[in-house]
Amino acid sequence: MKRILVAFSFVLPLSVLLTAETKTEFKYPAAPKSDQVDDYHGTKVADPYRPLENPDAPESRKWIEAENKLTFDFLKTIPERDAIKARLTALWDYEKFGVPFREKNRYFISKNSGLQNQNVLYVAANLSEQPRQLLDPNTLAKDGTVALGGVAVSDDAKLMAYGLATAGSDWQQWKVRDVETGKDRDDKLDWIKFSGASWKKDSSGFFYSRYDQPDEKNKLRSQVYGHKLFFHKLGTPQAQDKLIYERPDQKEWLFNAEVTDDGRYLIITVSHGTDPKNRIFYKNLDDPNSKVVELFDKADAAYDFVGNEGSVFAFKTDLNAPLGRIISVDTSKPLPPQPKELVPESADKLEAVSVVGGRFIAVYLKDAHSLVKLFKSDGAGDGEIALPGIGSAGGFTGKRGDRETFYSFASFTTPTSIFRYDFDKRESTLLFQPKVKFNPDDYTTDQVFYNSADGTRVPMFISYKKGMKRDGQNPTYLYGYGGFDISETPSFSPAILAWMEMGGIFALPNLRGGGEYGEKWHEAGEKHVKQNVFDDFISAAQYLIDNKFTSTPKLAIGGGSNGGLLVGACLTQRPDLFGAALPAVGVMDMLRFQKFTIGWAWTSDYGSSENREDFPYLYAYSPLHHFAKGCAYPATMITTADHDDRVVPAHSFKFAATLQAAQSGPAPTLIRIETKAGHGAGKPTTKIIEETADRWAFLVKALNMKTAK
């Protein structure tokens, strides 16, 4: 184990954070408490705020209401708040498009006119005509809290299965809509989570995965196990759906099914929680009595099905190639599979692969920005798709025989633009470029490299308004994630643009635990070496200070979900280093996260306190367990949502109550609890703008910013 944390006992000079005119005495609400003490392998750990794990208990509701009142009363005192919200609203008000896709003779396009709470789905016969509205989630709830969670269109483009998520929950209900008439059929499927849908080629129905019906009262916090793969025949009740595959002996396995382009096979991706290492099974759909074949059954690497030519399947994998390569397997030959290398591992991370236009489209990450290469079906190089600059590209979907594909491109100062790539002309055409009310030439992005605590070289993007002086006085928002093999790449955000307009710097380090440099980079930030992630983030902060971008009183840190854990851990380990913290929907109780909803799935990255060998590492950094009485912590505003059924709000509730009890300085330690919202996906635009305005207003005061436009 790297180290056990030592509690900090010194007092921060918080007078530099809050001027004499803005100091406020806070009387924090009394949180419900108990005498709960748990025994972890001989170590006794108190959990005094255990009652907050039940958000519906009367005492919890009273505490939630009191905390929200305290927070919003404080935010109302910040004069810049209204101006920030107005500017955010203006910046957000631009037309946005998703990456189009085509099925047979129809194009499907996602669009937002600007301030719509949810994107609207349109359909068109060609890209030059005015598209017809097919589905508008904004009509399903007045407050915009019903979101489109997934779409699957049949091969004949006549039917669309789609999922709806309410108030940010991971639970979805799926329906079927007639594309021509825009009317829903009677089909209605419930208790679907972590699943898409894939149609049979005859459009008779589709494959999907779901859980058994949960206890209605506790469905937002109870553990979920037993994913099952079904086939839904169009026009029949869900109770008659055919069970295709289940594994009662492996209750933690998750199934996602995909019908191959030729309709011959059902590819079943078997995941164990969030572990990138997975299994691949398949079923021959030409034979109704065929059994499921366990092709890759060892979970010894990540396998992503790319496409097939008859019995030969192609995969993107990191098997014996941590940065990724493309292989093929002839399934007509006896098991075990004998992989054939088509595209070898390169010096850059292979992030995604698709088969369109008879070619492999391979998206690489070169120091966390996109590079797109083409390969023939035999693996021979076939050129590149040139991108407009350093940024992130995504999309590239389609079928093997298509002569076109679509993709998006964005950077920190380039709003997401949509392109069409023509395989015959081998050129890209700009289809849509947003018109945002700002001048991108006023901003710049640097990519720097710094050394972490153990000497590891870590990249970081730094974006800011041109003309910035490196005098240590710039308000800076350092954002991070670092986990679950997820790559953080350049993207455009009106929120970050507003921050930079206000004179702020935005910094994004590519921490270990992510996927920017392949599986070794991910493994260097998980389980017993998770501390590396926090060291990388702390070192990023130190780099920004040492190089005069900012200074402690002007430095704020932020992150959500696993990034909320990151902020919580760094806040408790180095409260002297930061001027403010914004942990969002964070995993703060590392000893009990696995006991709620899908939390058990994260043990692939974190380990579990139930395992003797994992416990000391988790306990060493668990944010909830490392506050020190008598320490003056930086200004902190925790954000969570009452419908978050991925990282249940109890994490943030207990973290807030513990921080408030430990705080000895004058800086505010607040919690903002959103209602009718979840982990973040599908959150209405109005709620996003309101929450962002509150974050930036909080930082204006906490970092003593001079002005806010």
Asked, for residue 102, whether it belongs to a domain, the answer is no
d(CA 671, CA 656) in angstroms, rounded, equals: 6
Same structural domain, 638 and 613: yes
d(CA 346, CA 331) in angstroms, rounded, equals: 26
Rg (CA), the chain: 25
Alpha-carbon distance values, 628 to 363, 438, 443, 553, 565 (Å): 46, 44, 41, 21, 18
pLDDT tens, 650-663? Answer: 999 999 999 999 99
**Rounded (10°) angle between helices 685-702 and 494-501:** 30
Same structural domain, 395 and 522: no
Domain that holds residue 605: 14-90+438-702
Q: What pLDDT is attached to residue 219?
A: 60
448, with CB counted inside 10 A (0-12, 13-18, 19+), is middle
Asked, for residue 522, whether it belongs to a domain, the answer is yes
Asked, for residue 191, whether it belongs to a domain, the answer is no
Same structural domain, 541 and 646: yes
Q: Does residue 118 come out as left (phi exceeding 0), alpha (psi in the -120 to 50 range) or beta? A: beta
Q: How confident is the model at residue 22 (pLDDT cuts 50, 70, 90)?
A: very low
Q: Which amino acid is at 233?
A: K
Q: Kind of pairing, strands 555-560 and 476-479? A: parallel
Q: Kind of pairing, strands 457-465 and 476-479? A: unpaired
pLDDT tens, 427-460? Answer: 999 999 999 988 999 999 999 999 999 999 999 9
Q: What pLDDT is attached to residue 98?
A: 95
Asked, for residue 206, whether it belongs to a domain, the answer is no
Percent of the chain with pLDDT over 70: 94
For the beta sheet containing 242-245, the strands, ordered from the edge strand earlier in sequence to the opposite edge, are: 197-199, 205-210, 228-233, 242-245
Same structural domain, 422 and 476: no
Residue 323 predicted with pLDDT over 50: yes
d(CA 86, CA 200) in angstroms, rounded, equals: 48
Mean of pLDDT values over 614-629: 97
Asked, for residue 402, whether it belongs to a domain, the answer is yes
Same structural domain, 521 and 616: yes
The total of other beta-carbon atoms located within 10 Å of residue 398's CB is 22
Percent of the chain with pLDDT over 90: 86
Residue 4 predicted with pLDDT over 50: no
Q: What pLDDT is attached to residue 642?
A: 76
Mean of pLDDT values over 189-211: 95
Catalogue the active-site residues. Answer: 561, 679
d(CA 30, CA 67) in angstroms, rounded, equals: 9
Domain end call among 408, 436, 464: 436
Q: What pLDDT is attached to residue 39?
A: 98
Q: Which amino acid is at 384?
A: E
pTM (2 decimals)? 0.90
pLDDT tens, 180-192? Answer: 999 999 999 999 9
Helix (H) or strand (E) holding 343: strand 340-343
Same structural domain, 446 and 432: no
Mean of pLDDT values over 134-139: 94
Q: What does the DSSP assignment read for 391-438?
A: SEEEE----TT-SEEEEEEEETTEEEEEEEEETTTTEEEEEE----SS
Domain count, the chain: 2
Helix (H) or strand (E) holding 558: strand 555-560
Residue 8 predicted with pLDDT over 70: no
Q: What pLDDT is attached to residue 684?
A: 84
Domain end call among 419, 436, 453: 436
Asked, for residue 596, whether it belongs to a domain, the answer is yes
Using DSSP's 3-state secondary structure scheme, residue 626 falls into coil
Asked, for residue 171, whether it belongs to a domain, the answer is no
Q: What pLDDT is attached to residue 20?
A: 30
> Given the structure tokens 């015959």, which residue do they identify?
424
